Structure 1
Amino acid sequence: MERETIRNAARIVLGASLVFAGISHLTFARKEFQAQVPDWVPVKKDDTVIWSGVAEITLGASLMLAQGKHKKTIGNIASAFFTAVFPGNISQYTHHRNAFGLNTNRKRFARLFFQPLLIAWALKSTRK
């Protein structure tokens, strides 16, 4: 398989995953996502979950549909988004909040290592 084809497939899978996550923010996993909102965020937890869900749907669709020179820009935005939401993962760990089956400190801690992978995925799948 050609490298460009693999990168495009990775970009589309990441985009589809973001759309799914965004939809889950707005529907069946709303309460679960609220566990990740840090207490210091100055917006109601449910509002934060809704707006981040809308952002994920938009970002995911943008990743899937990105063409040419726009891929890199969208990849940078996705990378920034994954960086911006990382404090939520840290908050879930430090406040011992159970969500998404992350019901032990070990599981919550292990999840922290996936965020850098998402950042790398966003960047790598949108570069030539």
Structure 2
Amino acid sequence: MRSFLRVLLGLALVFAGTSHLTFARQDFRAQVPDFVPLDTDTTVLASGVAEIGLGSALLVTPRRHRRLVGTLAAWFFVAVFPGNISQWLNRRDAFGLDSDTKRIGRLFGQPLLIAASLWSTRDGSRRS
């Protein structure tokens, strides 16, 4: 189950990253908080490249390094969470999130992505 979730998460990240660079670029711009010092489009492109890299790493990294990759992916999801909050606070429509209820509902998905990143890259043993 862990491997399945890791592969699914890796594929989702590669897909999302690719969409940052192509067909969903405008929607991702709606998530960039106003306080980010970079140009909005630059931020979208950079986060897309990061997602492709993290997703690819989740797919191909050898078992001995998966914990590190999972931790990096979890931190990435923490880092982009303010974008989800910004989209909700500023009532920016994107990705079919065209109501406050839908936008706030999405906020609850982020902790699940963080947990999936961590859980799917651990080997399941009790060691620390």
Q: Normalising to structure 1: TM-score of the pair?
A: 0.95
Instruction: Give the drift of 1:36.
Output: 0.1
Structure 1 residue corresponding to 2:27, chosen from 9, 32, 45: 32
Identify which of 13, 17, 35 aligns with 2:12.
17
Identify the match of residue 122 of structure 1 among 104, 117, 126. 117
**How far does residue 64 in structure 1 lie from its aligned partner after superposition?**
0.4
Distance (whole Å) between structure 2 residues aligned to residue 120 and residue 103 of structure 1: 26
Q: Secondary structure at 2:63's aligned position in 1?
A: coil
The alignment yields a C-alpha RMSD, in angstroms, of 0.5
TM-score by length of 2: 0.95
- Residue 105 of structure 1: aligned partner: 100
Counterpart-to-counterpart distance in 2, 1:112 and 1:17: 17
Structure 1 residue runs of 5 or longer lacking an equivalent are 1-5
Query: SS at 1:23's partner residue?
Result: helix
Q: Tell me the amino acid that sits aligned with residue 71 of structure 1.
A: R
Aligned length: 123
Shift of 1:40: 0.6
Amino acid at match of 1:44: D
Runs of 4+ in structure 1 over 6 Å off: none
C-alpha separation in 2, matches of 1:16 and 1:9: 11
